[in-house]
Structure 1
Amino acid sequence: MSSLKSRIPQFVKSIVYSEHLAEDPTKVLKLHKYPLSSIFQENKNILLKSIAFPVNPSDINQLQGVYPSKPEKTLKYNTDTPSAIAGNEGLFEIVSLPSSVPHDQFKVGDWVIPLQANFGTWSTYRACDLPSELIKMNGLDKFSAATFSVNSCTAYLLVNRYIKDWNPGQDWLITNAGTSQVSKIVTQICSSLGIKTLSVIRDRDNFDEVANELKTKYGATEVISESQNNDKAFGKEKLPQLLKNGKIRLALNSVGGSSATAIARKLPKDGIMVTYGGMSMKPVSLPTSLLIFKNIQCLGFWITQITKEHPEEKQGCVKHLLPMYQKGEIISPKDDLRLMEWDVDNMKDEQVLQMFKDAIQIKGKKNFISLKH
């Protein structure tokens, strides 16, 4: 067994829930303290110390009870009723390893993330049984590593899963919600591969400023507004000039509604539109002509299900993306996160619980909780 005994606590604190409430998911949260021995036995389990985790929409949807994937509720955390620990994504440090784990696979001090969702990341410590449940994340900053599973893997697979024969310097990809973290990573990946990108963003007073940042900081080739996206005259007259002799082969939709229809219209014959989100809460609607005469494929993407069915694809994301982060081809998302700190030893329980409620309710930047042990 390999461990740092001085860092092994007697108790764990976790944000748990035993029921769901769509109207106000903050009401189902509880801060629960329980013995570490409930989940961890030395030389049998891997002990993980939490470093940081984001609060994602999927986490909130799970608490609401509307997300298709949910963790199993259990009594192993010494709760009065069967409960689950909230949180799907996060970054951990290995504190203790069974002697059966080869040193060249993992060692104490390694940074790791869970391979699968429903891990229960909103906790001071977690334990798992098998090394295969973890992916090594050494060499990244905590902001990139803690958000890797959802945003980074989604972006990489969106670019590489559906088009295998990209023609660098000629082919284009269009994405709506251009200021989202996934879109920003998509444009950076495409920039490194020589794929041109057209990012669609909401109309706003500071459009030029935001568009310039997306191009200079995040590698977008061109940026247009939703008004331009929905303007048929723009599509007929301006778009060909913008694309020159290139074509948009892939459309990435995370908005829905008219925005999705408009980006689909810009695809050529046999083009592909992949939907991975629905920010507008409006359905995806395509004209019949796009399906009949242009044979547009309209596909769905869910990173949780893909990782469950094809875990090797997530391992592939790590293999390709870690060097890109380390070379600066993809930058840290730190500037796009609202930082909150969980001071494990000094914060009162009610303060911790209120912080999580705020993290769910405060909109704008993605809320990111970093732990101080």
Structure 2
Amino acid sequence: MAELNRVIEALREQILNTEPLDDSTRQSGLALRMILEGWAHLPPEIRQGVETSLVGESPAEAISRVFSAHSKAIARASAQGVLYRYPTERDALHAYETFYQACPDVQADRLERALMASPLVPPESALGVRASTLLETFLRLSPFAGDQAGVALVLTLAFLQAHGADYPSDAENLTRLVQNPATLQSIEASENPSPLTYPDLIEAILAESKPQLVAVEAAIRQQALVPLANLPAPARTALQPVPGPSSEWRYLTLQDLIWINTEVTKRPQPYSYERLEEATYYQYSYRQSRDVVLQAARFLWGYLKYRPFAQGNYATALIATLALLQINGYEAHLPVEQASEWLLSVAARKKHPLDAIRQIVNPSQPGKQPIPLREHVHHLIEHYEPALHTLMEHETPLPV
């Protein structure tokens, strides 16, 4: 089945790398999934014909031609029963809602591609290989805003349990699994698959293992931000903090963030105190709370994860991050016309927050007199008003 496996891998990569997904790739992906679902039920001569037809063809063209030539046989084979039961879009959204107790902030195209690419593995692949591919695909495409590990792990554990298998759900093993999904590849399916639906499996997993999954996300977040000591030497030299004349380090309080959000949205917004508190704490880091650039990156990352206000979170993140830099001796050189894209690229996980901060900052000239936070914020809001409007338009109101 060398040709089939070649086409599977090539089309899978095409789906993963095509953003947004075009109709031709979408149709090829759906057709290939149907072929793979019914592969075990196809007559040997049809399977041989499929292999022969795939030789030398591009993935999309090959699948289209094979499906056209054998559509009836493929449909009959697929209808005889699917050996592996994969989560659906509704299941993925349910996992997010149940885990975070919030409406999903999802990039629909990425979620579609993740769900389409996950089952595209050689038909003889064991359960563990399929689970590994599912986890790796969701981590790679990151369809949800904020952390991805929790939802990806919940879906993977549910997939295993749906087929009668399991994996240790302690935080250490789950963290190791995120770092190396191939750990799953040796797991075999049981002869007694679970009769539970995916929503039931997801809720049972979270009822038992949510604290461990939260701990995994915390560990992954900590690893995601590069410590200052690990940055290249030129970057460390160029970005050494230069606080104001008093050499006092200044942080944003919960009250500061509430006030900033009110200023950018023009009215008080409902908010979650717990999420606001978590977002604020991201300014601090054990033994590293004296590096403003790193702390600003951590704050931006954490704030975009928790988004504590009903509205205006993206705009608040932009102004609060720039203000945090300015009150601690840094000048931010971020053109107004690029500001919304800069913030959204971090929110969409297209740009690492530390890279984003390093891209725009320079130390202020020594000897500058400190300026009150509110003066900084008013100036930033006035300066970035067009970007704030754009960010407001990109944001869906959240329940709090």
Common fold by TM > 0.5: no
Decide which structure has the larger Cα Rg and report it.
Answer: 2
Q: More helix by proportion, 1 or 2?
A: 2
State TM-score, norm by structure 2.
0.29
Say which structure, 1 or 2, has more relative contact order (CA 8 Å, 6+ apart): 1
Q: More strand by proportion, 1 or 2?
A: 1
